[in-house]
């Protein structure tokens, strides 16, 4: 492993929905980008999210475009199922698989293929919370409008 400037010469991969892209996502990608020379992000498709029981506000195409525009990200691929991780790690010659620690231990079975790392989540921000706040402000505005 040669050192390129500050970043080790290795490929890092992570997976996620990245809906309503926020500082928590940015901070994760920034930290991952320092752990290797290439960061691949697998972005969950809308169909896969439906299987996960999740409905994202922002459609896949737009979420993928936002990730591609992020300077920490080198490549975006679609995540369409749970089982693709092993193939992705082999196909992209991945050295490090990393996720936020809300997934701690969930992907240890991949340790035979590459290093595994779970990074502390960023506290105080989440897509769920943003959705809740938007919902709350919509209700407030409707109530205010009704009261006029």
Q: Find residue 39's DSSP bridge partners.
A: 12
Count of residues in the chain = 148
For 143, other C-beta atoms within 10 Å of its C-beta total: 9
| 15 binds ligand C2G, rule: CB under 6 A | yes
Binding letters toward ligand C2G, positions 126-145, x by CB under 6 A: x-------------------
Return the H-helix or E-strand segment holding 12: strand 11-16
Among 33, 79, 94, 97, interactor with ligand C2G by CB under 6 A: 79
Distance CA 41, CA 38 (A): 10
Provide the minimum distance between the beta carbon of 95 and ligand C2G in the complex, in angstroms, as a whole number. Answer: 18
CA 133 from chain centre, in angstroms, equals: 21
Tell which positions 47-76 bind ligand C2G, by CB under 6 A.
none
Region binding ligand C2G by CB under 6 A among candidate stretches 20-28, 68-76, 88-96, 139-147: 20-28
Question: How many angstroms separate the CA atoms of 62 and 5, rounded?
Answer: 32
**Which chain residues interact with ligand C2G by CB under 6 A?**
15-19, 24-25, 28, 44, 79, 99-100, 102, 121-122, 125-126
């Amino acid at each position: 492993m040669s050192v390129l400037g500050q970043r080790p010469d290795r490929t890092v991969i992570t997976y996620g929905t990245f809906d309503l892209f926020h500082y928590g996502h940015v901070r994760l990608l920034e930290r991952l980008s320092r752990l290797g020379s290439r960061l691949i992000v697998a972005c969950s498709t809308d169909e896969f999210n439906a299987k996960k029981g999740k409905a994202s506000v922002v459609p896949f195409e737009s979420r993928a475009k936002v990730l591609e525009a992020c300077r920490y990200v080198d490549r975006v691929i679609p995540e369409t199922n749970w089982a693709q991780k092993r193939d992705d790690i082999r196909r992209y010659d991945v050295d490090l698989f990393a996720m936020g620690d809300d997934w701690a231990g969930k992907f240890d079975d991949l340790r035979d293929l590459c290093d595994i790392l779970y990074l502390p989540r960023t506290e105080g921000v989440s897509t769920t919370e943003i959705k809740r706040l938007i919902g709350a402000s919509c209700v407030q505005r409707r109530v205010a409008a009704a009261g006029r």
